[in-house]
Each structure stands twice: as C-alpha cells, then as structure tokens.
C-alpha cells in the first residue's frame, strides 16, 4: 500500500458513477446560494456551451429515440444548470457591474461586446428574438410532438403487445426477446411522456430568462445610480450590456438543447441516423437537383438579382445532379455464367427423387425471404419453429425443405406434407398484414384478405400504415411472420403425420440414453416399433403432447404383454397422463368447466357401442345430427365464455365420440372420467341432449 486514497477505492468505479449525478445536482443548487468568482463563471458558462453541443450531436447520431432515453433527465439538469448560472451571474453583475465590462467574466463580456457589437439596443432585439424562437417555435412544437407521440404510443401498446405474443407463440422469438420487446414498448411510452413534461421546464426557463433580464436591467440602473453615483447613461450601458451578455450566454445553449429535443421527438425511427436520412432522402434524387438548378439559373439571369450567388449555387446543384445520374446509370458488373452441367444420357435410381415429408414452395417474389445468400429471415424463423415444436410437442419434426416454384403466383406459397398440398397463402414482402382480432377502432386502406392460418379478416397495408394500424387495434405482422405462423399452425395440426417410423426410433434412442433398460425391454422384446408409433400417433391426433415419454413407455411396457391393440394401449396411457392432459386444457385452474352428455343420450350411446365383435356401432342418423348440432352450439357458448370446449364422457364412449367430433367439430376435445385426477373439481356448463 502506498498510502494513496481515492473515491474509486472507497466506492468502486460503479459507485463513483452513481455519485456523479447527485454531486452535480448539489453543485448546481449550491451555485444559486454561494458566490462564484468571475473566473469560475467563465469555466461554467463554457462547460454549459460544450454540454449543449454534446447533447445536440448525440441526438443527431441516435438511431431511435430510446437510444437517448436519458434525454428528459438531461433536459431538466441542463435547465437547472442554466438557471443556477443566471442566478450566480446576476449576483456578480449587480455587485461588480460598475467596475467595467469584464466584471462578470470574460465570457459574458464577449457575448455582450463581440456578438452584438457593444450596442445594447441590438442586444435587446437579438435576445428577444432568441427567446421567441426558443419559446414559441422550437420548445412549443417539440412539446406538442412529444404529447401526441405519447398518446399514440399508449393507444398502440395493445396491438404491439399482441404482435409480440403472436411472434412468441409462433416460435419466432424466445421469452427473453419477448420480455425485452415488451420493456421497450413500455419505455417508449414513458420516454415521450417524460419529454412532454420536460419541455415545460424549457419553456419556463425562457420565461425566467426574460424576467431575469428585466430584473438585472432595472436593478442595475438603481444600484449604479443610487449606490455607485453613476450617471444614468453610463449605468444603462454597463448593466444593460452585462445583462444582455448574461442572457445570450444562457439562451444560446438553451436554443441548442431545445433543437436537440425537437430532433429526438420529431424523427421517424429507422436504421439510419438523422444525417444519413437527410442526405439519403433530400440530396439523392438527381431529377430534383437538376430541376432546382434550372430554377435557380433562371432566377440568376434576371437583372437586379444577386446573379453570382444564384448562378454559383445553380452550377453546384447541376454538377451534383449530373454526377448522381451517371452513378445510377452505371450497370452493375454481370457475374460470369456458370459452366453448363454435363448431360447424362443414362437413367439411374438417382433420378427418383424422394418425396419431402414437409415442404414449402414459394413464388419468385418471396425468394429473398428464403435465400441464404440474402440472409433470408424466414430461414431463421423456420429453425425457431422446429425448436419450439420439439420443446412443446416432444419430438423433433422433419426438416422443412424450401424451394422456389415459378408455376406459383409471384407472392404465393404452398405448404406440402408428403408431396400433398395442405396449406396455401399469399405474402407481400415490404408490406404488413393487419389482422383484425375482433375489436378494432377503424378501417384501413389496402388489399382485404384473410389471415391464412386461422382465417381471421385482415388487410395488407403499406409499411407507412403500420403505426396507424396498431393504433386502431390491429395485430400487425410482416410477410415472413405470416408464412411462419401458417407453417407452425400446419405442423401442430398434422403432428401425428410428422411422426414417422424413423422419428419414433430416434425418439426412443433419445430416451434410451437416460433409461436404456426401459427401452430395451419394450422394443422389440415386448412390442414391435409399429405399435409404439401408433400409440404416439393416437395421442398426437387428439392434441396430447408426448413430452413425458418415460411415463408413456412405462405404461406400454406394463400392459404390453396382455394388451396388443394400439387403441387400448392409448386409453391406458391417457389415464396415466391425465394430470398433464387436464393441465394442458385448463392451465392454472383446479375447476374443470366442461360439457357433458344428458344421461338418456349417454345411455343410448353406451347401448349402441355394445355391438357384436366385428360390427360397427349402430346409431340413429337423427340422433347423430342432434348430437352434432348441440355439440357445435355448446362449443360456441364455451368460446364466448372464454372456456375450452371440452366434453367429459365415460371411457367406453371417448374414442367413438372423439373420432366423430374430430371430423365434424375439431375444436372440441373429448376426455374420459378416468382421466380426470381426483384433485380436480368438475362443473358441467352444458348438457348435450338437455340443459345444465
């Protein structure tokens, strides 16, 4: 130890940073009370000017408003700093103003003498103009923009939250990314609200500057004439110039920071800073520059006009526009054509292309979304979908083979399962699909369509309408999300068909790494692989996840010696998975609000199922129609109440009704009494064939 001591040793680096702001606030408030020598006033005024320039440059180089989230606090602190400097300089001006122009420091003298030429009348006019510009134009406009932005941001929050939930459910983002995006939405609303409030401080600062100037002038005249025996003209010149210099040295940084505030709240967030936006959008169109140069050239040839200035600027703009025209007209170098592929005259088994289990074909306008060379966003989302599917359902689905198909419409895509089309839709890159969730506040211009996955009414809108659509309550997603959501919906709906023999073996191999004896005793010693595959497929057909493979294998192994039928084994497995099935249907609820069969109808169906071996159950057609109609009506009622459509029946009827309703009313899930754990309570909300 060398005996040295520092704040970083006592508090650490993070502690010193945390102390910086409280110390600065205390120093600012202290300047209002303690007298400050003119030399330190020069340093503090210079620091105030430098701080204003730093704030302006930071606002120019930010990409989005939240990159400068501390700006409302910075606005408040700089306002307090200016006010404290005004108080400190006022004290010095009134105490020492009679001694000369440098009584309050060199900075105030320079602003009072050099910037306005020592003429206090000019200084008063310049000061008044700066205050009007800052107070009436910049600060008022920035405050109004922040107020409107805060209101629209709050109105758009529900739509943005729904878009995040849609991406999360589709597997496009994880929990951490969703949490981060929700926090950004909340911070954005808080930022604009804080900016709206902070702008009031700046407006108050402008008013305070006017009052301080009047007080300094009047007070200086009284003190100079009464206390220091100066004549009225000398006192007016000395104290007025010092007051003007003091006001200008405070109002110019205030004007700079108000400009920064206006830039931050008025810009539209893109992936470019404000300089790149202005140059790219104002001075990147040769036609505009050439037309402007022509107009200036004509005006420059009018007698009596400042010909040199007009013609000089016209030549400069013409040169710039001509350069841009040549640059944009240069053809891009063409890539060398690939060598011709060798022509094979022999036919082999390589010409027999196997059918892809899961395929996605796209039109040529959608190729950028799936082109690896162009960093296609849809490729990453498909990987996320497969990972989410494996996590939720319990097995790794086959890879999605993506290829272009020039026979499709340019914006069309087709989802195929084993070579057969099972889904089709259209997506428009660069546009957004505004989905109506059922409660929107307005209509949007665009191509009316339906969301391909769930059939909800939707509108394709331009990118500029995205914020307005979210404000109206629409769920807004891009073209890649539309395709990914549709693909995710199809994969979940056909999970049983995606589980082939190879995927089943891979799943058993995966389980066998942790429980090798369990798998060895089951396949092939006890049951063939095909029976296990059928059991898993039966579960997936009815939306039951197979994540708990250990329990499934244990139940099959326990009863496999005496039960060989896949349907009977599935029923036994469902009983063992009863808690998971109920939790999947009623997450976080101990009470199961279900539909049930009227006792008379239940008795008739039980009698119908007791047919002789090899005969199909005989049910009267009229009874079937009644059952289907009442099932659909009850399901719609459950949906209006926000409840899942679940039908509770005896175990003997579960398979029959499940297959029947799955073909006609797929939203209804059928569970057996034996599958409900003893810890759950049952409440019947609707009777099929009667009233609850």
Q: For residues 255 and 139, give the distance between their C-alpha atoms in angstroms, rounded to a whole number.
A: 9
Average pLDDT over residues 232-253: 74
- Pull the structure tokens for residue 52: 């204003």
Q: For residues 154 and 187, give the distance between their C-alpha atoms in angstroms, rounded to a whole number.
A: 11
Q: For residues 249 and 383, give the distance between their C-alpha atoms in angstroms, rounded to a whole number.
A: 59
Q: What is the pLDDT of residue 232?
A: 73
Contact between 673 and 651 under an 8 Å Cβ cutoff? The reply is yes
3-class state of residue 421 by DSSP: strand
In this predicted structure, the answer to whether residue 114 has a pLDDT above a threshold of 70 is no
- The residue ranking higher by pLDDT, 282 or 623, is 623
Helix (H) or strand (E) segment spanning residue 532: helix 529-541
Q: For residues 643 and 669, give the distance between their C-alpha atoms in angstroms, rounded to a whole number.
A: 12
Query: Could you say which DSSP state residue 349 is in?
Result: G
CA distances (Å), 64 to each of 59, 140, 265, 269, in order? 9, 22, 9, 5
Q: For residues 277 and 287, give the distance between their C-alpha atoms in angstroms, rounded to a whole number.
A: 18
In this predicted structure, the answer to whether residue 624 has a pLDDT above a threshold of 60 is yes
Collect all residues with Cβ–Cβ distance below 8 Å to 510 and sequence separation of at least 6.
none
Average pLDDT over residues 205-212: 73
Q: Which range is least confidently modeled, 324-333, 505-514, 617-626? A: 324-333
Q: For residues 272 and 62, give the distance between their C-alpha atoms in angstroms, rounded to a whole number.
A: 8
Q: What is the pLDDT of residue 168?
A: 72
Beta strands in 282-392 (DSSP E): 358-362
- The residue ranking higher by pLDDT, 228 or 524, is 524
Please report which residue ranges of 343-452 form alpha helices under DSSP H: 367-370, 377-393
In this predicted structure, the answer to whether residue 11 has a pLDDT above a threshold of 70 is no
Cβ–Cβ contacts within 10 Å for residue 154, how many?
A: 15
In this predicted structure, the answer to whether residue 1 has a pLDDT above a threshold of 50 is no
Average pLDDT over residues 90-99: 72
Look-up of token digits 């407006």: 203
Cβ–Cβ contacts within 10 Å for residue 18, how many?
A: 11
Cβ–Cβ contacts within 10 Å for residue 70, how many?
A: 13
- Pull the structure tokens for residue 408: 């499709």
Confidence of residue 613 (pLDDT cuts 50, 70, 90): very low
From first CA to last CA, the distance across the chain in angstroms is 84
Average pLDDT over residues 223-240: 74
Confidence of residue 692 (pLDDT cuts 50, 70, 90): very low
- The residue ranking higher by pLDDT, 360 or 202, is 360
What is the rounded radius of gyration, in angstroms, for the C-alpha atoms of the chain?
38
Q: For residues 651 and 181, give the distance between their C-alpha atoms in angstroms, rounded to a whole number.
A: 46
Average pLDDT over residues 222-242: 74
Q: In what order do the strands lie in the sheet with 412-417?
A: 400-404, 358-362, 412-417, 420-426
Phi first, then psi: give them for residue 356, nearest 5 degrees: -70, 135
Average pLDDT over residues 315-319: 86
Q: What is the pLDDT of residue 489?
A: 92
3-class state of residue 296 by DSSP: helix
Helices 599-609, 621-640: crossing angle, 10 deg rounding: 130
Query: Structure pTM?
Result: 0.55
Q: What is the pLDDT of residue 371?
A: 86
Average pLDDT over residues 265-287: 66
Contact between 67 and 14 under an 8 Å Cβ cutoff? The reply is no
Strand partners, 319: none
Q: For residues 141 and 134, give the distance between their C-alpha atoms in angstroms, rounded to a whole number.
A: 10
In this predicted structure, the answer to whether residue 569 has a pLDDT above a threshold of 90 is yes
Q: Where are the domains of the chain?
A: 31-278, 284-326, 354-496, 499-576, 590-610+618-692
- The residue ranking higher by pLDDT, 443 or 235, is 443
Q: For residues 265 and 188, give the distance between their C-alpha atoms in angstroms, rounded to a whole number.
A: 11
What pLDDT, in 10s, does the model give residues 488-546?
999 999 999 999 999 999 999 999 888 888 888 888 888 999 999 999 999 999 999 99
Collect all residues with Cβ–Cβ distance below 8 Å to 449 and sequence separation of at least 6.
426, 433, 458, 459, 460
In this predicted structure, the answer to whether residue 195 has a pLDDT above a threshold of 60 is yes
What pLDDT, in 10s, does the model give residues 126-184?
777 777 777 677 767 777 777 776 676 676 777 677 777 777 766 667 777 878 888 88
CA distances (Å), 321 to each of 274, 292, 326, 645, in order? 22, 10, 9, 66
CATH number, domain 499-576:
1.10.8.540
Q: Which range is least confidently modeled, 225-239, 474-488, 585-599? A: 225-239
In this predicted structure, the answer to whether residue 593 has a pLDDT above a threshold of 50 is yes
Query: Could you say which DSSP state residue 452 is in?
Result: T
Average pLDDT over residues 195-215: 72
Q: What is the pLDDT of residue 322?
A: 81
Average pLDDT over residues 27-42: 76
CATH number, domain 354-496:
3.40.30.60
- The residue ranking higher by pLDDT, 571 or 618, is 571
Collect all residues with Cβ–Cβ distance below 8 Å to 400 and sequence separation of at least 6.
358, 359, 360, 382, 385, 386, 487
Q: 457-461 and 447-450 as β-strands: parallel, antiparallel, unpaired?
A: antiparallel
Spacing of C-alpha 647 from chain mean position: 39
Question: What is the average pLDDT score of the chain?
Answer: 80
Residues composing the chain? 692
Say which CATH architecture domain 590-610+618-692 belongs to: 3-Layer(aba) Sandwich (3.40)
Q: For residues 36 and 246, give the distance between their C-alpha atoms in angstroms, rounded to a whole number.
A: 14
Confidence of residue 428 (pLDDT cuts 50, 70, 90): very high
Contact between 576 and 672 under an 8 Å Cβ cutoff? The reply is no
What percentage of the chain exceeds 70 in pLDDT? 82
**Three-state secondary structure of 593-649:** EEEEECHHHHHHHHHHHCCCCCCCCCCCHHHHHHHHHHHHHHHHHHHHCCCCCEEEE
- The residue ranking higher by pLDDT, 368 or 692, is 368
Contact between 193 and 151 under an 8 Å Cβ cutoff? The reply is no
Q: For residues 468 and 474, give the distance between their C-alpha atoms in angstroms, rounded to a whole number.
A: 9
Peptide bond before 524: cis, by omega within 30 degrees of 0?
Answer: yes
What pLDDT, in 10s, does the model give residues 371-422?
888 888 888 888 889 999 999 999 999 999 999 988 899 999 999 999 999 9
Contact between 249 and 107 under an 8 Å Cβ cutoff? The reply is yes
CA nearest neighbour of 389 among 172, 570, 573, 668: 172
């Amino acid at each position: 130890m060398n005996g040295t001591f520092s704040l970083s040793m006592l508090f650490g680096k993070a502690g010193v940073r945390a102390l910086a702001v409280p110390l600065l606030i205390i120093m600012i408030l202290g300047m209002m009370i303690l007298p400050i020598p003119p030399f330190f006033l020069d340093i503090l005024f210079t620091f105030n000017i430098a701080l204003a320039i730093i704030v302006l440059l930071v606002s120019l180089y930010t990409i989005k408003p939240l990159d400068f989230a501390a700006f409302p606090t910075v606005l408040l602190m700089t306002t307090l700093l200016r006010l404290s400097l005004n108080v400190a300089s006022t004290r010095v001006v009134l105490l020492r103003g009679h001694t000369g122009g440098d009584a309050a420091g060199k900075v105030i003298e320079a602003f009072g003498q050099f910037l306005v030429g020592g003429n206090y009348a000019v200084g008063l006019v310049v000061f008044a103009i700066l205050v009007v510009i800052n107070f009436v134009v910049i600060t008022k406009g920035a405050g109004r923009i922040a107020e409107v932005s805060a209101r629209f941001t709050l109105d758009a929050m529900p739509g943005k939250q729904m878009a995040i939930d849609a991406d999360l459910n589709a597997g496009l983002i994880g929990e951490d990314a969703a949490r981060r995006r929700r926090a950004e939405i909340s911070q954005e609303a808080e930022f604009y609200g804080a900016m709206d409030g902070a702008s009031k401080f700046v407006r108050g600062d402008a008013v305070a500057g006017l009052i301080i100037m009047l007080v300094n002038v009047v007070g200086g005249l009284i003190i100079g004439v009464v206390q220091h025996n100066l004549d009225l003209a000398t006192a007016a010149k000395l104290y007025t110039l010092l007051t003007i210099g003091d006001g200008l040295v405070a109002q110019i940084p205030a004007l700079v920071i108000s400009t920064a505030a206006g830039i931050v709240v008025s810009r539209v967030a893109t992936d470019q800073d404000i300089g790149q936006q202005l140059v790219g959008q104002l001075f990147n169109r040769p036609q505009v520059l050439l037309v402007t140069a022509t107009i200036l050239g004509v005006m420059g040839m009018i007698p009596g006009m400042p010909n040199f200035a007009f013609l000089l600027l016209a030549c400069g703009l013409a040169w710039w526009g001509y350069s841009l025209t040549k640059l944009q007209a240069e053809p891009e170098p063409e890539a060398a054509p690939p060598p011709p592929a060798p022509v094979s005259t022999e036919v082999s088994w390589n010409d027999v292309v196997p059918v892809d289990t899961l395929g996605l074909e796209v039109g040529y306008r959608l190729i950028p979304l799936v082109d690896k060379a162009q960093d296609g966003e849809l490729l990453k989302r498909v990987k996320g979908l497969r990972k989410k599917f494996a996590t939720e359902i319990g097995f790794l689905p086959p890879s999605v083979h993506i290829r272009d198909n020039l026979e499709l419409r340019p914006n069309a895509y087709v989802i195929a399962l084993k070579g057969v089309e099972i889904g089709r839709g259209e997506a428009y890159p660069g546009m957004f699909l505004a989905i109506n969730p059922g409660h929107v506040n307005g209509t949007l211009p665009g191509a009316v369509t339906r969301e391909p996955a769930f059939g909800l009414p939707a509108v394709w809108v331009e990118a500029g309408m995205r914020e307005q659509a979210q404000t109206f309550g629409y769920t807004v997603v891009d073209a890649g999300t539309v395709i990914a959501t549709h693909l995710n919906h199809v994969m979940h709906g056909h999970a049983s068909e995606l589980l082939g023999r190879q995927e089943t073996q891979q799943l058993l191999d995966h389980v066998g790494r942790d429980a090798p004896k369990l798998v060895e005793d089951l396949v092939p010693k006890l049951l063939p692989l095909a029976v296990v595959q059928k059991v898993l497929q039966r579960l997936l057909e009815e939306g039951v996840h197979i994540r708990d493979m250990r329990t499934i294998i244990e139940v099959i192994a326990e009863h496999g010696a005496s039960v060989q039928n896949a349907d009977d084994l599935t029923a036994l497995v469902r009983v063992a998975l009863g808690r998971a099935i109920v939790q999947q249907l009623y997450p976080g609820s101990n009470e199961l609000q279900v539909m049930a069969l009227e006792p008379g109808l239940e008795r008739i169906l039980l009698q119908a199922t007791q047919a002789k071996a090899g005969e199909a159950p005989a049910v009267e057609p009229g009874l079937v129609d009644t059952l289907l109609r009442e099932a659909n009506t009850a399901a719609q009622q459950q949906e209006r109440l926000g409840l899942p459509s679940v039908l509770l029946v005896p175990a003997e009827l579960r398979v029959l009704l499940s297959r029947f309703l799955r073909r006609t009313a797929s939203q209804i899930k059928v569970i057996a009494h034996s599958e409900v754990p003893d810890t759950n309570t049952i409440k019947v909300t609707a009777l099929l064939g009667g009233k609850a």
